Chain A
Amino acid sequence: DVKVTQSSRYLVKRTGEKVFLECVQDMDHENMFWYRQDPGLGLRLIYFSYDVKMKEKGDIPEGYSVSREKKERFSLILESASTNQTSMYLCASSLTGGGVQGETQYFGPGTRLLVL
């Protein structure tokens, strides 16, 4: 079974803090993704990565950065947290590299972040 784990289920941070969200997958997947999920807006892609040290911007990268130093680990960084970044953050991974068309994505349980 594919397992995607996220470092925290719930986080409370203050405006301006630097926030690190960690994601680890145990199935040697090439692709990893970070989404945020907000009511009425669905899942929106923040960043994704095809391989170690590679990253691509998604639809809403502003205010975020990512790091992928090892294949199994993909970190999302909020450089200076703001209240509009309060959301559910979901990490996902998929098997093959070179494209994302139609590939099953396996999701972690999510991190609910509250920025005060």
Chain B
Amino acid sequence: QKEVEQDPGPLSVPEGAIVSLNCTYSNSAFQYFMWYRQYSRKGPELLMYTYSSGNKEDGRFTAQVDKSSKYISLFIRDSQPSDSATYLCAMSGYSSASKIIFGSGTRLSIRP
């Protein structure tokens, strides 16, 4: 079983829809949770970052962490064609030896 599971999609939704992207994980030591966005033929870039459980909002994006269920989500409100990309969840533990573990990514397409 992979440490981090992410539905690869592809996910296609109309412009303006609310998008929900999710990851599950198995390692209870994970404390830092990140979402990276990767446009076609580009490297990933950090979109949002949360520590431990709870919600974090940044404009149209909301990151949610439920450590009791080992489940994280990224919500995109009022989705735009420019949101079309692959979204990768990532997480790491607290110790200095922790590496970042990435999900395999969900490809998202927003139809105009």
Contact = CB atoms under 8 A, between A and B. Distances in A.
B49 A100 contact: no
B96 interface: yes
13 contacts: A35-B102, A42-B4, A42-B6, A42-B88, A43-B88, A43-B102, A100-B92, A100-B96, A101-B32, A102-B92, A104-B46, A105-B46, A109-B42
Nearest to A43: B102
B99 A42 contact: no
| Chain B, interface residues (CB within 8 Å), range | 20 to 34
Contacts of A98: 96
A74 interface: no
Main secondary structure of the interface of A (DSSP, over half): loop
A101 B92 contact: yes
A90 interface: yes
| Chain A, interface residues (CB within 8 Å), range | 20 to 34
A101 B31 CA distance: 9
Interface string A71-87: 00000000000000000
B43 A90 contact: yes
A90 B88 CA distance: 14
A108 B99 CA distance: 18
Nearest to B89: A42
Contacts of A48: 99
A107 B34 CA distance: 14
B37 to A, nearest CB: 11
Given A42-B104, A43-B102, A58-B99, A102 B49 contact: yes
B26 interface: no
Given A101-B32, A101-B92, A109 B102 contact: no
